[in-house]
Amino acid sequence: MRRFLGIGTALCGLLMPVALMAQDASSLRQDVGVFPSESDVPPAPWRLVRFKESVPPTDYRIRAWAGEFAIEAHAHASMALLARPIQIDLVRTPILCWRWRIDAPIAAADLREKSGDDYAARVYVAFRIPPESMSWVTRSKLALARSVFGAEVPDAALNYVWDNRHPIGTVTPNAYTERAMMIVARSGAADAGRWVSERRDVLADIRSAFGAGSFTPVLLAVASDGDDTGSSAHAGFARLRFVARGASCD
């Protein structure tokens, strides 16, 4: 009996670190866009964010789509973010994972021109920066932008886009503002019509785009927009979550 008790104790000693590792890995994952069922209206805390009332909003709903409960976006010469607030510790969980799909890229788009600033799909992360770490000129530009487009204008933002023409890895300021960086995560039509998975180091990306400093992510959004080119697009977004470096997205 003592022998069996000793074996049991030894097994517990071996298995406990594994259990603790699994628990720790679970604690280092934060789901921010995982949906349990279909809904005609995306559930709270998701909400529409519009920058121009004169532009019709993109339509969003939650649907079962080829094995995923996903955000479905229909854009028809429209623009609106579907956004939610987030509280993420980028030191612990800097990796943003998601799955997305499009029917086709927007053929008339060109991310370097205001007239072409449209994307079949984009994932957007907005940040707050301590005011004292920004120049007077930057603070003045942000104040002016907020007077025109509203308080939702962030101190800085990253846009991961499914582009139509530029190669994956292209990084360039948004055509309207240098406070938003456009990062081509997927390009062209080769992967259109199916779910594809993405994984980005948000902390590394924001530091690469805006330098060293304190960046607090405050908003996550998805979007499909065609207002600048008068185009239509159809996209889906699923399994959005932040994980630790080296951790599996799933």
**What's the pLDDT tens digit per position in 130-164?**
777 767 777 777 777 666 666 667 789 999 999 99
Eight-class DSSP state of 168: T
Q: Assign domain 31-243 to a CATH class.
A: mainly beta
By CB atoms closer than 10 A (0-12, 13-18, 19+), residue 130 is exposed
Tens-digit pLDDT profile for residues 217-239? 999 999 999 999 999 999 999 99
**Cα–Cα dist 148/162, whole Å:** 27
What average pLDDT score do residues 23-35 get? 78
- What is the model's pTM? 0.86
